[in-house]
Amino acid sequence: MKITVLPLDSRPCNHSWVKKFAKLSNVNLAIVPEKDSGNLKQGLDFLKYEEWLLEESLRSDYLLVSIDGLVSGGLIQARKAEMEETEAFRRLALLAKIKEQNPSIKILAFDTIMRTSISTTDNATRVYWEKMNRFSRLKGKLYFDYSIETEKALEQLTHEIPEEIINTYLLARSKKHQVNLKLCELVKEGIIDQLLLLQEDSMNQGMQQIESVKLMNYVKNNDLEEQILLYNGTDEATVVLLGRALLKAKGKKPKVHVLLSDDLIKNKIMPFEDRELEINYQNMMNFIGLESVSYSEADYVLALYSEADNVYDLDLESTKEIKPKIDQKFSSFIEKVNQAIEGKKWVEFVDLLYPNGGSFKVLEPVNYQKLLGYSAWNTSSNSLGSALATIAIHAYSKGDLSSFLYERIIDDCFYQTYARREANVSLLDSEVNIYNMNTEEEKEALKLINIGLKKVVQQTLKVNYKISLPWSRTFEIDIDVEVE
């Protein structure tokens, strides 16, 4: 089977993970090279890869395509409102050409509903990131629940944000929404076979929900519920599409039991999201092709740890540790996880205590070296989507995922929660812009990160690993692990 991929951008979750999963699954993969995929400063050159996509798709069974990558060149570029609508639609027309030359190809696409704030590239934009989040919340509240107090608060906030930032943001939202609607039309026309509309970073009653309502009305009015899904997520989507393609190709529907640390978390709206946790993971499972079953019927267990109250640990410049509640509920959950592992279930463990990393206090009592997988990165839906995709990959190939397991533990837990924060504190003390470093600063950052990682990894895992900073910032690493 051959699969062609146009990724969201060059970050590991969109690129190196896809290549690792494809290799494990013995898939013939054609993917835009990492060096040419979008990054923090430069988007994909569409003209360079237009003919490449046509040629590779001619011999492919599936095309997995990020619309932000296709239309704007990448996720960062999609937030800048630089793409004219006519050019965006011209690029989308390539999908019809692909379908025309290869009618049997399945086109699985995903697009983002624009997040509720702007990109962060330095300390100044970080300030406006917070203000634009408030701006979006107030805009949404005015729409869904008008009050004079909200209107006055919005007017005051508008004076605190440069007009150019607001205008660019609103223009980008408008353009993105038109692309979202056009994609729904392409599904209706039979050009796109399956479409994910993924709500990037958001909050309940943010202005993004105005667009979501309009999109879902179109979906319902045109009976497209089986082909178009809308839920929270973004960065995990490329591997989610890959998981769906593999299971569909093999005609498999793996049986998965969802084990929750607390039933109350089903209805919890996680940080950076705008709908209940259960809605998100059930939609993901349905899209990928995983069947939710009882424990006794399951081959796989998706173990989700969170707590009823939101725990925010968003300051990546602080080493203050937030710990889980070690009580009877916690102990009972961990016992069930370990029993599932010993009972020969394949267990995927997802730590959702807080965003942007996992707590080793949660993972430590788990027999974690026998897990199928571990996930605790970025938002709840990012972690959930990649975890469920990992289950799909394993169900397809039954390959050895131990290296990927250790990569996720080292990255999601040891790096994101511990080593990254320690390095950030030191780098910021030296007045380094951790969102966009030069070559020398990047070398110093890697040195600090490796020192911090070594302290925790050597106490827990017997592995060799190599890391890099693919976007010259500390927000993410790329990692390769060799198991001894």
List, for residues 49-98, the tens digit of each pLDDT value: 999 999 999 999 999 999 999 999 999 998 887 888 899 999 999 999 99
> Among 186, 181, 210, which Cα is nearest to 197's?
181
50-227-235-351 Cα dihedral, nearest 10 degrees: -160
CA atoms within 13 Å, Cβ hemisphere of 334: 17
Q: Show the tokens assigned to 92.
A: 């989308």
- Number of alpha carbons in the 13 Å side-chain half-sphere of residue 122: 5
Q: Compute the distance between CA of residue 119 and CA of residue 43 in angstroms, rounded to an integer.
A: 15
pLDDT at residue 321 above 90? no
pLDDT higher for 205 or 152?
Answer: 152
Is residue 48 within 8 A of residue 36, CB to CB? The reply is: yes
Distance between CA atoms of residues 269 and 271, nearest Å: 7
Least confident stretch, 286-300, 302-316, 401-415: 302-316
Amino acid identity of 102? N
Cβ within 8 Å of residue 148, ≥6 positions away = none
Query: For residue 311, what pLDDT is reported?
Result: 67
CB 371 within 8 A of CB 385: no
| Domains of the chain and any CATH numbers | 2-129+161-250 (3.40.50), 252-399 (3.40.50), 414-484 (no CATH)
Helix (H) or strand (E) holding 130: helix 123-144
What are phi and psi for residue 4, nearest 5 degrees?
-105, 140
Give the per-residue pLDDT at 411: 98
User: 3-state SS of 20-72?
Assistant: HHHHHCCCEEEECCHHHCCCCCCCCCHHHHHHHHHHHHHCCCEEEEEHHHHHC
CB atoms within 10 A of CB 298: 20
* DSSP H or E stretch at residue 178: helix 163-188
Comparing CA positions, the residue from 174, 237, 234 lying closest to residue 200 is: 234
- Are the beta carbons of 387 and 373 closer than 8 angstroms? yes
Cα four-point dihedral sign 267, 272, 274, 278: negative
191, two tokens: 């050009």
Distances (CA, A) of 43 to 68, 133, 259, 296, 363: 10, 25, 40, 48, 37
β-sheet bridge partners, residue 479: 467
Residues 229-275 have pLDDT tens digits of: 999 999 999 999 999 999 999 998 999 999 999 999 999 999 999 99
Tokens of 280: 């998100």
| Alpha-carbon span 484 to 479, nearest angstrom | 16
Note the pLDDT of residue 314. 62
Task: Give the model confidence (pLDDT) of 192-202 as tens digits.
Answer: 999 999 999 89
Confidence of residue 316 (pLDDT cuts 50, 70, 90): low
**What is the DSSP code (8-state) at residue 338?**
H
User: Model confidence over 347-388: pLDDT tens digits?
Assistant: 999 999 999 999 999 999 999 999 999 999 999 999 999 999
Amino acid 271: pLDDT = 92
Cα separations in angstroms, 476 against 9, 58, 76, 122? 13, 35, 15, 16
